[in-house]
């Protein structure tokens, strides 16, 4: 169940972070204004509360895209640092693993490092 949810969450995140998601969101807003009254939706006056809601809706897609891009770039840079330092290469690409496996690798690394500091 956990791996399935992780895979679904990753796909939804990638879809929401794509530039096409912003285009679809903007098209939905335009369609609401143009087709809304003909489909029976009440016309929306351009009041402050509605404009704030509308801008929040669009900004969610912009922020999601930027976060996804920044995270991907950070992972590439970290993988390059690991490779350049000739460190444990088993951690390259670990962000693609299931959460339980990431937790177990993190715990094992912390235990190994705390034993090294003590001894």
Helix axes 2-17, 19-35, angle to 10 degrees: 70
The tokens 């001894």 sit on which residue?
119
In sequence order, what are the residues at sequence separation of 6 or more whose Cβ sits closer than 8 angstroms to the Cβ of residue 2? Answer: 98, 99, 100
Instruction: Find how far residue 67's CA is from the centre of its chain.
Output: 6
> pLDDT per residue over 11-39, tens digit each?
887 787 788 888 888 888 888 878 877 88
Predicted local confidence at residue 3, as pLDDT: 67
Model pTM above 0.85:
no
Q: Residue range 63-76: average pLDDT? A: 84
């Amino acid at each position: 169940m956990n791996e399935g949810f992780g895979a679904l969450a990753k796909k939804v995140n990638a879809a929401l972070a794509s530039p096409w998601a912003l285009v679809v969101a903007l098209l939905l807003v335009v369609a609401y204004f143009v087709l809304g009254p003909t489909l029976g939706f009440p016309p929306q006056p351009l009041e402050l509360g509605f404009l704030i809601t509308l801008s929040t809706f669009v900004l969610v897609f912009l922020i999601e895209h930027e976060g996804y891009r920044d995270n991907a770039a950070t992972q590439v840079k970290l993988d390059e640092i690991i490779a350049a330092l000739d460190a444990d290469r088993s951690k390259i690409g670990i962000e693609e693993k299931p959460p339980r496996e990431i937790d177990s690798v993190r715990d094992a690394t912390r235990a190994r490092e705390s034993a090294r500091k003590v001894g």
